[in-house]
Amino acid sequence: MHVKSVAKRLARTAVIGTATAGLLAAGASTSLAQERVRWQVPLAAPSGLVGISTPIKYLSESLGEASGGNITLRYYEPGELIPPFEIMDAVSEGRYPAGYTWIGYDQGSIPALPLFSGPPFGMEPPAYMAWHYFGGGHELLKEIYEPYNIEPLLCGMVGPEAAGWFAEPLESLDQIDGLRIRFAGIGGRVMERLGASVTMIPGGELYQAMERGTIDALEFSSPAVDRILGLHEIVQNYVLPGWHQTFTAVHLLVNKDVWDGLDARTRAMMDMGCRAATLYGYSESEIENAKALRDFEAEGVNAQVLPDDVLQELRRVTNEVQAEIAGEDEMFRRVLESQQAFMELHGTWHYKGHLPRSYYAPQGD
């Protein structure tokens, strides 16, 4: 009897233990259950553009997989939901929870934004990321967007753009005078100072504008993106380097009320996702730009490197334009000074610590 009693007690204990473990597991599962996020995200540039919009595809897929399908970012082509230049206002007003854009488009409302999206004679991408994450850049951008009820997330990065497509090789800045040209950001104001008539046209409309003669010249992005748009089919003179935009940063803008309403875990996943998307876009663009430039030249495109005297003059005019904007806008001045201080610090390391560019390409015997 004693043995049977002990056996019964052990059996009851095992059942209770199993039930308790099940309840604890269920409780843990409930406590770890993630909120469901379903966002519509309008794009400023067509999907599929290397480094410009491919990071949002990467972000959407990665978040979906990492969250077990609980986070869904459904992105829409430019104009499908709203015009591409209205993303900031739509997010600010809460019409859409988020948008994916090149924030320099909104320089008319916020003059400092081109400094965060790609300024002339600025930092190279790795340096910009260092400034953004560790040099106070992100904090300044959050401060800028606070009155607009927007949480900005750096969510894509591309290397330098090309300086544009021109009917003739660009040997002198006198050739700029009188041109009708598509040019973005602070570089557009430099072009205006040099006598050009500057217009802003979305990327998806550039081919038609150039083909129909609406504009005489244009810049849009890097070789890989320009190739996707087919710009080499119309113009054969491709000017480098991209003095006007030494990097291109794209951002996920999130309505601040929506952002604050998310669980901490969801916000952390989105932040990590955007950091990964930034690296993804930059890495992808570096290999694809190299291939695109190689293919351009193989097909007869004249990939012209601007002479140093032209670059020196462009920098002089750029400094004048930026000084004027800084005198008009306090936040522009603060951001510009922060970036210049960082470049002074980082420049010494970059100059002395990195091999000169002439040593980069493989050398023959």
pLDDT-based confidence at residue 1 (cuts at 50, 70, 90): very low
Is the pLDDT assigned to residue 205 strictly greater than 50?
A: yes
Taking the C-alpha atoms of residue 138 and residue 180, their distance in angstroms, rounded to an integer, is: 35
Task: Give Cα 152 to chain centroid, integer Å.
Answer: 11
Please enumerate in sequence order all residues whose Cβ is within 8 A of that of 162, keeping only pairs 6 or more positions apart, or say none: 219, 221, 222, 223, 226, 238, 239, 240, 241, 242
- In this structure, the number of other CB atoms found within 10 A of the CB of residue 149 comes to 17
Backbone phi and psi for residue 225, each to the nearest 5 degrees, phi listed first: -70, -45
| pTM score, whole prediction | 0.86
pLDDT score at 132? 98
pLDDT-based confidence at residue 329 (cuts at 50, 70, 90): very high
Instruction: Name which residue leads in pLDDT, 212 or 195.
Output: 195
Is the pLDDT assigned to residue 19 strictly greater than 60?
A: no
Beta strands in the chain (DSSP E): 37-42, 71-76, 98-101, 150-158, 164-166, 180-182, 197-199, 217-218, 237-240, 248-255, 302-305
First CA to last CA distance, the chain? 94
* Domains, in order of start, for the chain: 36-158+247-287 (3.40.190.170), 164-245+301-337 (3.40.190.10)
pLDDT score at 33? 67
pLDDT in tens, 107-141: 999 999 999 999 999 999 999 999 999 999 999 99
Taking the C-alpha atoms of residue 191 and residue 130, their distance in angstroms, rounded to an integer, is: 29
pLDDT score at 9? 47
Nearest residue to 162 via CA among 153, 170, 154: 170
Is the pLDDT assigned to residue 29 strictly greater than 90?
A: no
Is the pLDDT assigned to residue 31 strictly greater than 50?
A: no
User: Three-state SS string across 233-296, please?
Assistant: HCCCEEEECCCCCCCEEEEEEEEHHHHHCCCHHHHHHHHHHHHHHHHHHHHHHHHHHHHHHHHH
Instruction: Name which residue leads in pLDDT, 305 or 24.
Output: 305
The token duo for 197 is 């008539």
pLDDT score at 365? 46
pLDDT in tens, 153-202: 999 999 999 999 988 888 889 999 998 888 888 999 999 999 998 887 77
pLDDT score at 257? 98
| Span 323-343, average pLDDT | 97
How confident is the prediction for the chain on average, in pLDDT? 89
pLDDT score at 335? 98
3-state SS assignment for residue 304? strand
pLDDT score at 363? 64
pLDDT in tens, 229-267: 888 888 889 999 999 999 999 999 999 999 999 999 999
Please state, for a pLDDT cut of 90, what percent of the chain lies above it.
72
Please state, for a pLDDT cut of 70, what percent of the chain lies above it.
90
| Span 78-103, average pLDDT | 97
